Amino acid sequence: MIGLFDSGHGGLTVFRALLARFPDVRFVYLGDHANAPYGNRPSQEVIELTEAGVGRLFGLGCRLVVLACNTATAVACRSLQQQWLPGANWPGHNILGIVAPTVEVATQTPWAVQSPQYPQKYNSETIAVFATRRTIASDVYREEIRKRCPHVTVVQQACPRLAGAIEQGAPDTDLVPMVGEYVATLLEQCDGATPDRAILGCTHFPLIEHLFRSHLPSSTRVLAQPEAVAHSLEDYLTRHPHFAEPRDEAHTPILLTTGKLDRIVATLAPFWTGDVRFERVEG
């Protein structure tokens, strides 16, 4: 069984892509809605909350957990992989993040390649990154892109109000000026250059990709993070098939939350259509 962990609803955009790509694999989703959002929290809190969520999913029988949250990945993934997991008495378990697949797509370079490779080393594109304040502060996208493509210009813009507004079900009329402000601020940093690619580095943002597209130059390519994660996981499971436990015929995806069920139901519609039911667990 494979677990997905996020601070709230945003990871459901990744969850849907994985369910579509792997219809025969068992999945369980845990949203830490009681502590959302993570984007404005101190790094140590993000690490501790992510450890708790991953530990819960391991305890439920997941041997592989995907951090379906850019903030959790940027701030906590490396710490969990290198420090927490080896000493946490979970042999045969692993944790993956969603920054790596996104960087692979942005640079067209495998994650394992840590230095410039032809022809990427001659790449002089401009890549825009829109994300939460904490993800931008971690500088993970700039660092990882520049390792592989040092001639690329990475321009970043924190969008501190956007994920919360999306999760609260704000209408496009409220979101349009926010997106317009963030895109305009980023374009000012580009000194007249047009971004060749844009990373929507928050799993909430695919829901309003159309708003970003309407404000970005028409030539800017917006990268689809959920599809990138699904493609990367497919490659990973090909190499590590023991993590892809087949689902029973009657098995349906399990969705868990640390938050209040009435609030979850009230704000779920943009993230999930059809019959779905969250179960509450103690946060």
Q: What is the dihedral of CA 36, 38, 39, 44, to 10 degrees?
A: 160
254-257 and 27-31 beta bridge pairing: parallel
User: CA-CA distances (angstroms) from residue 70 to 18, 44, 213?
Assistant: 16, 15, 20
Residue 150 burial (CB count, 10 A): 12
Pick the catalytic residue from 62, 149, 159, 202.
Answer: 202
Please choose, from the candidates 280, 283, 244, 269, the residue with its C-alpha nearest in 3D space to the C-alpha of residue 21: 244
77 is catalytic: no
User: CA-CA distances (angstroms) from residue 150 to 127, 143, 260?
Assistant: 12, 9, 45
Please choose, from the candidates 66, 68, 58, the residue with its C-alpha nearest in 3D space to the C-alpha of residue 88: 58
Q: Which residues contact 110 (CB under 8 A, 6 or more apart)?
A: 104
Q: Which residues contact 130 (CB under 8 A, 6 or more apart)?
A: 156, 157, 159, 182, 183, 186, 198, 199, 200, 201, 202, 205, 212
190 is catalytic: no
CA dihedral sign, ordered 139, 121, 216, 172: negative
Which residues on adjacent β-strands are paired with residue 30?
5, 256
Pick the catalytic residue from 69, 77, 149, 159.
Answer: 69
Catalytic positions, written as ranges: 69, 202
